[in-house]
A and B are shown apart, each in its own frame.
Chain A
Amino acid sequence: MAKLRPKYLNLFEIKLPIPGIVSILHRVSGAGLFLMLPFVLYLLQSSLQSPSSYILFRDLLSSVLVKLLLLGLLWAFLHHFAAGIRYLLLDIHVGTALAPARASSFAVIGVSLVLTVLFGVWMW
């Protein structure tokens, strides 16, 4: 019998191992950071352009919506940063065995979440 091609996989049936979760979050966080670039550049511009734009910048930062956006961005940055360092280490053959690879995956997810929560507490 001919096999049915193309094959469609049900993403919700696939159980990714923990390094796989780090990998897809690396992609998702990178895409999110890319999409938010104009917003970040706009914030940087308003913080630097003039004393009056700086006041606008402080007003923006005091809004709950912007704070939530920044927290999301911060998580994306921290996850991308930590996972990126993990990949650089894997490139030079550090931690490639199964147990350390799983442990470092948990560490990447944990560290970025904890730092995001701590920053959120400090910001509010």
Chain B
Amino acid sequence: MKRIVVGAHYGLRDWLVQRVTAVIMAVFALLMLFIVVFHRPEHYGAWSALMSQQWMRLASLLFLLSLFWHAWIGARDIIMDYVKPDGARLAVQVVVVLLLVVYALWSIQILWGIY
């Protein structure tokens, strides 16, 4: 069995994912800025009505999932730079992955649980 434990076999994919998710987040952030500045949802009714539209839920979820995937790549790069012992590195990376999965599930609960 050929096992590659080092090397950049996932490097190009992650490099690309980091950039694609960045562009998705940038577009959504500018869209949100535009909506908030022009519609000014200043009370609960307007804010929840805006966020509970189906396209807005899906766009927000796309933004948040992009954020979590982007955060995974960035966090992993930082962990690889500073946490040298293999066991500790693996442990920290597992914690980060679990946190991001929980955040993703929590995001779905938030977006589809609007009153």
Contact = CB atoms under 8 A, between A and B. Distances in A.
Interface of A: 27, 30-31, 33-34, 37-38, 41, 44-45, 47-51, 54, 81, 84-85, 88, 91
Given A48-B113, A51-B115, A81-B29, 20 more contacts: A27-B74, A27-B78, A30-B74, A31-B75, A31-B78, A37-B99, A38-B103, A41-B103, A41-B106, A45-B106, A45-B110, A47-B47, A48-B115, A49-B110, A49-B114, A50-B115, A54-B44, A84-B26, A85-B26, A88-B23
A48 B48 contact: yes
B44 A51 contact: yes
29 contacts: A27-B78, A30-B71, A30-B78, A31-B78, A33-B71, A34-B74, A37-B71, A37-B103, A41-B103, A41-B107, A41-B110, A45-B110, A48-B47, A48-B48, A48-B110, A48-B111, A48-B113, A49-B115, A51-B44, A51-B115, A54-B47, A54-B48, A81-B26, A81-B29, A84-B22, A84-B26, A85-B26, A88-B22, A91-B19
Contacts of A51: 44, 115
Interface of B: 19, 22-23, 26, 29, 44, 47-48, 51, 71, 74-75, 78, 99, 103, 106-107, 110-111, 113-115
Contact of B114 (A34, A38, A48, A84): A48
Nearest to A33: B71
A48 B52 CA distance: 9
Main secondary structure of the interface of A (DSSP, over half): helix
Contacts of B111: 48
Nearest to A34: B71
A114 to B, nearest CB: 16
A47 B51 CA distance: 10
Nearest to B109: A45
A31 B48 CA distance: 30
Nearest to B41: A47
A123 to B, nearest CB: 14
Contacts of B75: 31, 34
